[in-house]
Amino acid sequence: MIGRFLKNNLSLKIVSLIVAIILWFFAINELNPERTQSMTNIPVEIINVDQLNRRNLTLSEDPASVITIRIKGLVNDIRRVNDGSLKAVLDLGDIDWTGTQNLELDIVGLPPRELSLVREPEVSVTINKIISKPIPVEIEVTGNGSDGYYVHEATAEPPSVTIYGAQSLVDSIVQGVVKVKLDQDEGTIKQSLPIELVDSAGNIVKSKYLNLRQESTMVTIPIHPLKSISVRANIIGTPADGFIVDDVIIDPSQVTINGYASIVNRLNSLLTDPIDINDADEDVHATVNLVKEDGVYMEPGQPSQVNVVVHISETTIEKEIALTDIELRNIPEGFGATTEEGLSIAVQIKGLYTIVQPLLAQSLTPYIDLSLIDTEAETFEPGVLELPLVISTPDGVEITNGANQMIPVTLQAVEVENPETSVEGDPESEDETNTP
């Protein structure tokens, strides 16, 4: 009887224990169950970047800045987790490779005993070598200068800069660009302006993994007033004797310049390079450069050379010549003619220098034509007659004074012996015959 009771009581105890355990598990599951839960917007902190850089390596882009994790644990433990105390740590200290890989993150702030991660979180990381290269700096100018002003090409100092950073980014950059906007400016612009990095497609590239050794460049844009001025030929030397410069033709005769106002405002003309006309006796043709002062520029489209024609002409001169040897022509038969002894006639001649200058008295032919005398006329009487002087000149010579003078000519009858009346062998007759 007693044994049966003990046996039955032990069974009861075992049954009670089992029921108690079941009730305990039921209570836990119902009141504080185990659960898996996602935690979002966990910030990612990157550490040991300096160690990575010391290996001449760098990130080429930022990895994800926040991640989502899944944790497992009892509800009450999960509820005690402070979202603000969690962070994911990305350690770059041991990376020695380039390319793209997934790296595990360490989650800080999660109680390790009560809670666990369903899966270790990862982020994709791209690592590049650090390289550098020089790139040109281009200036993009928009807008216009003021009317009457010329905007020169912009220049940058320095004209190129060095960039460095992640290789993929550095390789993509083709140039640096500086943007300038003009607004009817009337003076030279000189400003230090920031440089933007541009790829081959013209896109601006910005990244903290891409840097410039010099962030800005000094931009200079000369803006100068325009002015139209005449061109003067710089003629040196003198023409040959008897020649003069009678005209100078310049093509173009005017040009448009620009430059510093202090210089341009005082200029009225530009000289050419020297044109030598020394001893010239014909037109001189030359194509010569324009001489510009420092700070003076030709407007685009304007020639830097001009064509010059120096017209050289021969001078016309006058010259006085004394004529002493006057020829008597067509003396009437039976008469003798003479002019005044020591007669000298001054005449003025005119013509081109090369013709007139070398002329002497012998170059002219002065004569009196006695055929003008009609010895058969009833009124004719020998004696002193006034006859016109005629002067023959070379071609191109004009007598301006002294031609057609009336010259006194003495005309006397002379006895003409008849040869038939002379006695042959008579010495006196022979002497008379030979006497002039």
Give the span between the Cα atoms of 40 and 86, in whole angstroms: 10
Model confidence at 35, in pLDDT bands (50, 70, 90)? confident
pLDDT score, position 57: 97
pLDDT digits (tens, 9 = 90+) for 281-304: 999 999 999 999 898 999 888 899
The kind and range of the H/E element at 251 are strand 243-251
User: Is beta strand 34-47 parallel, antiparallel or unpaired with respect to 87-91?
Assistant: parallel
pLDDT over 70 at 428, yes or no: no
Pick the more confident residue, 59 or 432.
59
pLDDT over 60 at 95, yes or no: yes
Model confidence at 435, in pLDDT bands (50, 70, 90)? very low
pLDDT over 80 at 120, yes or no: yes
pTM of the model: 0.62
Model confidence at 214, in pLDDT bands (50, 70, 90)? very high
pLDDT over 80 at 110, yes or no: yes
DSSP 85: G
* Beta-bridge partners for 383: 411
Which of 185-219 are b and which e, b meaning 16 or more Cβ less than 10 Å from the residue's Cβ?
A: beeebeeebebebbeeeeeebeeebbbbeeebbeb
pLDDT score, position 375: 87
pLDDT over 50 at 81, yes or no: yes
pLDDT score, position 432: 41
Q: What is the mean pLDDT of residues 56-61?
A: 96
The DSSP string of 315-377 is PEEEEEEEE--PEEESPPTTEEEEE-TT--EEEEEEEEHHHHTT--GGGSEEEEEGGG--TTS
pLDDT over 80 at 25, yes or no: no
Q: What is the mean pLDDT of residues 35-41?
A: 88
Average pLDDT, the chain: 89
pLDDT over 70 at 7, yes or no: no
On whether the CB atoms of residues 85 and 26 are closer than 8 A, the answer is: no
Q: What is the mean pLDDT of residues 221-250?
A: 95
Calculate Rg over the CA atoms of the chain: 61
